[in-house]
């Protein structure tokens, strides 16, 4: 299940999880993967999805490399720390990785 989110807010952050729970209740066969695709510019908000309850397998950003560069340019240490935590923990990936991840 792929859930697309433009920006992350409290109400949007819980929607993929509730839809996922409905899906797994009615499933036939193995458990589906759930992931989110976002354009959110703040890593601290992305973290609410990526680290949340652990129901999401991964969050993909449509411009992760550009986001990383922009945060470096504005020199926001808190946002950069969170971004690095998400990337190193493999909770946030670039959208270009999605087709390869789905194929495996």
| pLDDT, tens only, 26-53 | 767 777 677 889 999 999 999 988 887 6
Residue 54 pLDDT exceeds 60: yes
Residue 71 pLDDT exceeds 90: yes
pTM of this prediction? Answer: 0.79
- Range list of H helices, the chain: 10-25, 43-50, 64-74, 77-88, 98-103
Give CA angle at 51 (100, 58), nearest 5°. Answer: 10
């Amino acid at each position: 299940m792929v859930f697309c989110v433009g920006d992350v807010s409290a109400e949007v952050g819980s929607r993929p999880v509730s839809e996922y729970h409905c899906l797994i209740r009615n499933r036939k066969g193995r458990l589906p993967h759930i992931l989110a695709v976002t354009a959110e510019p703040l890593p601290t908000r992305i973290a609410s999805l990526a680290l949340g309850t652990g129901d999401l397998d991964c969050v993909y950003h449509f411009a992760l490399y550009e986001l990383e560069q922009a945060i470096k340019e504005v020199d926001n240490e808190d946002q950069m720390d969170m971004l690095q935590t998400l990337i190193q923990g493999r909770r946030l990936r670039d959208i270009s990785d999605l087709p390869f991840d789905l194929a495996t």
